[in-house]
Chains A and B, each alone.
Chain A
Amino acid sequence: MSVVRFWRNQVNRYNLEGTHCNSCDEYFYPPRSMCPTCRREGELESHRFEGKGEIVTYTIIHSAAEGFENQSPYPLAIVKLDEGASLTSPIVADPEEMYIGMRVKPVFRKLGESGDKGMIYYGTKFAPDKND
């Protein structure tokens, strides 16, 4: 991904900033600028998610995505945040630890990099929340 394209959503990725529709009270992460329920009548405002959530489903990726080769095998999950929005994220956990329904919390990690000389991309991943 190009530097500019990543930078544009950098704050969203760093701090789980999404949006919330004031009209129907639905939360969105990744952020949306149009509420799919209210459409034109929607009133969107930015919202920072608490970051706690639950694993809806997961897989252990053995054949890695580009840039993730070093981390294979790695758990990837759909996480439903407590406010209601769902997102896709690697889970910083051992494959054997994973289960549907597991509580997770956000962690700050490297998401990738453009080779040895390019930009490093940082953002939020999730890890098991053992205190929850």
Chain B
Amino acid sequence: MSVGIVSYGSYIPRYRIKVEDIARVWGEDAETLKAGLMVSEKSVPDLDEDAATIAVESARAAIENGNIDPVRIGAVYTGSESHPYAVKPTSTIVAEAISATPVMTAADFEFACKAGSATVQSCMGLTSSGMIDLGMGIGADVSQGAPGDALEYTAASGGVAFIMGDNESEPIALIEDTYSFTTDTPDFWRREGSEFPQHGGRFTGEPGYFKHVIGASKGLMEKMGTGPEDYDYAVFHQPNGKFPTRVSKELGFSRDKIEPGMVITKLGNIYSGSCMMGIAATLDQAKPGDRIFATAFGSGAGADAFSIKVTDKMEQFQKYSPKVWDQLKDPVYVDYAKYAKHKGKLKRS
């Protein structure tokens, strides 16, 4: 395959809430939760932010970081499970805001937490087939978690945009191959018109996350004839800190290989952008020649695995692009009341 990441950009809102503040409201033990989830705080959107504004900010960062002429972008796909409209694309808002319109295609994606990686795969197909020059795939969410639900401790906000292109477009990292593993598994859902998602509790673990992540990961390594030892870094979808830690161990990746991409601890789970944010944080510190193994998971359920190899264009790119971990520094903390207002859980009558 001769396709890769030409540029990427990310956006994280400046507000955070600590697990303690949520636990206090629901009478739960924060220390136990923090240890269990391996999450200490999560991002919170501003009052005037939604998945579309976050997608635009990350898309603009990707354009700027790679100094990309937006006219070259032939497709904008946004993956989210919090698209502001049920009908009317987020992607047209993004495309207009980065001036990629009008000669291009756009559509919105939804596949729980892997809608972002699905957009990346679609862009790979369009660029490698020569249908378009560059394609932009975005994962952006203002994730929903019902008040008092376990998800509320992790459901976070942020976005990542990848600009994909073929070899001619001088990628900073090549996608050596990708492999998907999909079944119909109802481990997590949100019905049309419902405010918050529902999930199968522990059913989301073995039959959901682990089966699919391991299926896709092993499948890709088998297909490519590679093993964990061939990779310098690994990233797995992060609904919490525990799942990727366990799955990486099962697959044979050492702890230090997943560490750079483990943004969950300070960011929370940004749903559609979760794995992409982990990849972005890893790319931020990868060197030319480094190989990254990444598997995104989306409930419903499916997993997309990627084998990524960093090119020598990366050194130049890293000089000017802001780093994910730097964006996680110096947050503004909010209490639960303010968080509830920011998330629209508390509504002015």
Which chain A residues have a beta carbon within 8 Å of chain B's beta carbons? 10-11, 14-15, 69-71, 92, 94, 107-111, 120, 122, 125
Q: A107 CA to B53 CA in the complex, in Å?
A: 9
Q: Are A108 and B46 in contact (CB under 8 A)?
A: no
A14-B97 contact given A109-B53, A120-B84, A122-B53, CB 8 Å threshold? yes
Tell me the smallest distance from the CB of A125 to a CB of chain B, in Å. 7
Chain A residues within an 8 Å CB radius of B348: 69-70
Cβ contact of B93, chosen from A92, A94, A122, A125, cutoff 8 A = A122
* Residue of A with least CB distance to B96: A14
B47 interfacial by beta-carbon distance below 8 Å? yes
Q: Are A110 and B53 in contact (CB under 8 A)?
A: yes
Cβ contact of A108, chosen from B97, B99, B332, cutoff 8 A = B97
* Residue of B with least CB distance to A111: B48
Chain B residues within an 8 Å CB radius of A10: 96
B52 interfacial by beta-carbon distance below 8 Å? yes
Task: Give the 7 A-B CB pairs with smallest separation, nearest first.
Answer: A108-B56, A110-B48, A109-B48, A14-B97, A108-B53, A71-B47, A109-B53
B89-113 with Cβ < 8 A to chain A: 93, 96-97, 99
Q: Are B50 and A110 in contact (CB under 8 A)?
A: yes
Interface residues on B, range: 10 to 19
B85 interfacial by beta-carbon distance below 8 Å? yes
Contact with A along B332-349 (1 / 0, CB 8 A): 100000000100000010
Chain B residues within an 8 Å CB radius of A120: 50, 52, 84-85
Chain A residues within an 8 Å CB radius of B53: 108-110, 122
Q: Are B96 and A109 in contact (CB under 8 A)?
A: no
Cβ contact of A109, chosen from B46, B60, B85, B341, cutoff 8 A = B46
B49 interfacial by beta-carbon distance below 8 Å? yes
Q: A48 CA to B307 CA in the complex, in Å?
A: 39
Q: Are B48 and A125 in contact (CB under 8 A)?
A: yes
B57 interfacial by beta-carbon distance below 8 Å? yes
Q: A110 CA to B49 CA in the complex, in Å?
A: 6
Q: Are B50 and A108 in contact (CB under 8 A)?
A: no
Tell me the smallest distance from the CB of A97 to a CB of chain B, in Å. 11
Tell me the smallest distance from the CB of B42 to a CB of chain A, in Å. 20
Tell me the smallest distance from the CB of B223 to a CB of chain A, in Å. 40
Q: 26 interchain pairs (CB within 8 A)?
A: A10-B96, A14-B97, A15-B96, A15-B99, A69-B348, A70-B341, A70-B348, A71-B48, A92-B48, A107-B57, A108-B53, A108-B56, A108-B57, A108-B60, A109-B46, A109-B53, A110-B48, A110-B49, A110-B50, A110-B53, A120-B50, A120-B52, A120-B85, A122-B52, A122-B56, A122-B93
Q: A71 CA to B46 CA in the complex, in Å?
A: 9
Chain A residues within an 8 Å CB radius of B60: 108
Tell me the smallest distance from the CB of B51 to a CB of chain A, in Å. 11
Tell me the smallest distance from the CB of A131 to a CB of chain B, in Å. 10
Chain A residues within an 8 Å CB radius of B47: 70-71
Chain A residues within an 8 Å CB radius of B93: 122
Chain B residues within an 8 Å CB radius of A94: 332
Q: A107 CA to B93 CA in the complex, in Å?
A: 14
Q: A11 CA to B84 CA in the complex, in Å?
A: 19
* Residue of A with least CB distance to B46: A92
Chain B residues within an 8 Å CB radius of A71: 47-48
Chain A residues within an 8 Å CB radius of B97: 14-15, 108, 122
Q: Which of A15, A109, A111, A125: most chain B Cβ within 10 A? A: A109
Q: A69 CA to B46 CA in the complex, in Å?
A: 14
Chain A residues within an 8 Å CB radius of B341: 70
Q: A107 CA to B49 CA in the complex, in Å?
A: 10
B15-47 with Cβ < 8 A to chain A: 46-47
Q: A11 CA to B102 CA in the complex, in Å?
A: 12
Tell me the smallest distance from the CB of A87 to a CB of chain B, in Å. 17
